[in-house]
Amino acid sequence: MPLRTCLIMMTALAVITDNLIIPFYPQYFAERFGNPPEQYVGLYLAVVSLVVMAVFPLWARLAKRVHPVRILISAQFMAGSLTAACYFIDSLPLFWVVSLVMVLFKGSYLLMYPYVMSLQQQDNHTQTIGTLSVVVHFGAILGAALGGLVLQVMNIGDVFLVMAAGDSSRWPSACTWCAAICPRPASSLRATKRRCATQRAACRPSTGCAW
């Protein structure tokens, strides 16, 4: 399967799982934290959006030095761990802290959009933008619908475990892609060159020699 298609599918999965609980936050806050003031939910969702907007430039700056897939591996691992931790939290202030740090790491997934664009010729950018737009909006609708179905058979707090499972399911794929497409460390390249230098007669181009 082409890398572009895999990345778009992972993006769809991320959007769906992240939207499982968003429409049901008022119910979640009421059941888990004892009916806090209603404005807390609106304030929380506003802060979530602000965190994503604030940290994305930092992720983008980091992506200039580190391959986006490498960032995705570490960030999604942390996001999945913190999402699972939210399941056990009964304190509203602690939930704010942990969940907002979770959102910080989830924000790294926005790096996939420009990365998918970079895999395409410029003539195909319009089609790719349209595809990603459909994926994001349809994923949000589908995630909300699936969230309602999940709540028919599970407690509302259990949705965080489903979301964590979604993050974890993307992690092995990201590791596989990183091994395939990310540049090897300089030490590994030097080791390959030394090995080629000692075995010039048998060395083939596929080993990575640079003569």
Q: In one letter, which amino acid is 175? A: C
Entry pTM: 0.75
| pLDDT band (50, 70, 90) for residue 109 | confident
Angle at 180 between CA 177 and CA 181, to 5 degrees: 85
pLDDT in tens, 23-72: 899 899 998 988 888 888 899 999 999 999 999 999 999 988 988 888 88
Nearest to 192 by CA among 179, 207, 180: 207
Query: Which letter, b or e, does each residue of 127-158 get, where b requires 16 or more Cβ atoms within 10 Å of its Cβ?
Result: ebeebbeebeeebbeebbebbeebbeeeebbe
| Residue 11: partners with Cβ closer than 8 Å, 6 or more residues away | 109, 112, 113, 116, 132, 135, 136, 139
Report, as an integer, the average pLDDT of 137-141. Answer: 89
Do 52 and 103 contact (CB within 8 A), yes or no? yes
Residue 208 predicted with pLDDT over 50: no
pLDDT in tens, 62-76: 988 988 888 888 888
Residue 122 predicted with pLDDT over 60: yes
- Domains of the chain (ranges, CATH numbers): 3-207 (1.20.1250.20)
Q: Which residue has the tokens 């930092």?
A: 58
